[in-house]
Amino acid sequence: MAKAIRIFEFRLNSDVQVEEFERFVTEELTKAPNAPGIRTRFLKCDRDSQGDLIGTYANELEFDSVEVRDRYFPTISESSEEFNQWWAEHGALWGKFHSMVNGRYIDYIDYGK
C-alpha cells in the first residue's frame, strides 16, 4: 500500500520573527498530537540549486496510505468531518502555526518500499 505525502511549503509572514517561529515549532508544535495515521516533520531549506528557497520552510505530513489522506482530505483544499472533529480538539497550536505563515500544499504518493 503506497503512502501519501503532503508537503506544505511556506514562508514566514512579514511580522513574524525567525527566532520566535523556530522556538514555537521546536518547543510546542513538534510535541502536538497528530491525527491517527499521520506523522509530521518540519524542515528548513539550507541549500537550493536556484538559491531562491534558502531560509524557507516545509511541513511534511506522511500518511499511512493514500486512503488515510483521502479520508481526512478528500481534495487538496477540503477536509472531512472526521478531520474537522480532530481539529476542534487538537487544532489550537496548528491554528497559531497557520497564522504565522503563508504557503501552499502539494500532495505526493510514495512509491518506494
**For the segment 22-61, what is each residue's pLDDT rounded down to a tens digit?**
999 999 999 999 999 999 999 999 999 998 999 999 999 9
Percent of the chain with pLDDT over 90: 93
45, 55 in Cβ contact below 8 A? yes
Instruction: Provide DSSP, 7-60.
Output: EEEEEE-TTS-HHHHHHHHHHTGGGSPPPTTEEEEEEE----SSSSSTT-EEEE
Please give the model's pTM, rounded to 2 decimal places: 0.88
Q: What is the CATH number of the domain that holds 68?
A: 3.30.70.100
Q: Which triple of cell numbers denotes residue 11?
A: 514562508
Assign 14 a pLDDT band (cuts: 50, 70, 90). very high
Domain residue limits at 53: 3-110
Which letter does DSSP use for residue 65 in this model? -
- A 10 A CB-CB count for 42 gives 15
pLDDT, tens digit, 9 for 90 and up, residues 58-112: 999 999 999 999 999 999 999 999 999 999 999 999 999 999 999 999 999 988 7
pLDDT, residue 1, reads 76
Q: How many domains does the chain have?
A: 1
What the block records as the C-alpha cell of 65 is 496510505
